[in-house]
Amino acid sequence: MIKAILFDFDGTLADTAPDLGHALNRQRIARGLPELPIAQIRPQASAGSRGLLGLGFNIKPGDDDYESMRDEFLDFYTQRLCHDTCLFPGVDELLDQLEMMKLPWGIVTNKPARFAHPLIEMLDLAQRVACIICGDETTNTKPHPEPLLTASNKIAIAPANCIYLGDDIRDVQASLAAGMQPIVARYGYLGNGQPPETWGAKYLIDHPEELLAYL
C-alpha cells in the first residue's frame, strides 16, 4: 500500500534547464563560443554542473580548470536561480490531488541545499512538502539509497510504502536499492542515453498526473 510519494526535483517536479542553461551559455559567450540550444542542454540538466560543464566545455572533475569553471558556473546560476524555472505542467495539480488524499510527499534531490531550498521556496512548495533531502545533506548521493532512506525515516513511512518518481537512471537505482517502487518521469530530462524502459522500473509516465493511477 502506497502511503507517501517522494520526488526528484530537477527534471521531475521542476523544469530548471532554462536557468541552468543560461549559466552555461553565459560562460560560453565569455569565451567566444556560441550558445548551445536548450534542446541540447536539457538532457544534461539532471547531472548538474558536472554534466553541463562536460557538455559545454568537454571537461570533467579532476581536470585542471574544472573547479574554477564549476565555481563560475554556480555563481552565474545563483544570480539567476528562478528566472525561467517553473513546475512542469500538471505537477501542481498532482500535488493538489495528493494533498486531498492526505498522502505526504517529499523531495529527494542531488541538488545542493543552497540552491534547492531557495528554489523550493520561490516555487511555493516549501509550506507543502513533508521533507526535503538535498545532495549535500547526506554522506552519499543517488544512486546510493541513503538519501531515500533518510527521507523515509524523516516522514516515518517504510520504504516499501513509498513511490519515488524521477527522470534519471540514478533515481531508479536508488529506489530499488532502498526498497521503494521507482516510477520514471518520461516527460523529464532522461539524460544518460539509455532508453528509460531499460532502467529497471516497472512503470513509466508521460504526464505527472498519470502517477495517480499507481496509488
> How many of the other CB atoms lie within 10 Å of CB of 43?
19
> How many of the other CB atoms lie within 10 Å of CB of 34?
8
Q: Decide the pairing of beta strands 86-87 and 14-15.
A: antiparallel
- What cell does 58 get? 568537454
Q: Decide the pairing of beta strands 181-185 and 86-87.
A: unpaired
Catalytic positions, please?
Answer: 8, 10
Helix axes 113-122, 66-79, angle to 10 degrees: 20
In sequence order, what DSSP letters do the residues of 144-196 get, joined into one string?
A: SSHHHHHHHHHHT--GGGEEEEESSHHHHHHHHHHT-EEEEETTS--TTSS-G
Q: Alpha carbon of 205 to those of 17, 68, 88, 143: distances in Å?
A: 20, 38, 13, 20
Query: Which is nearest to 200 in space by CA: 173, 163, 165?
Result: 173
Q: Are 185 and 168 in contact (CB under 8 A)?
A: no
Longest pairwise C-alpha distance within the chain? 55
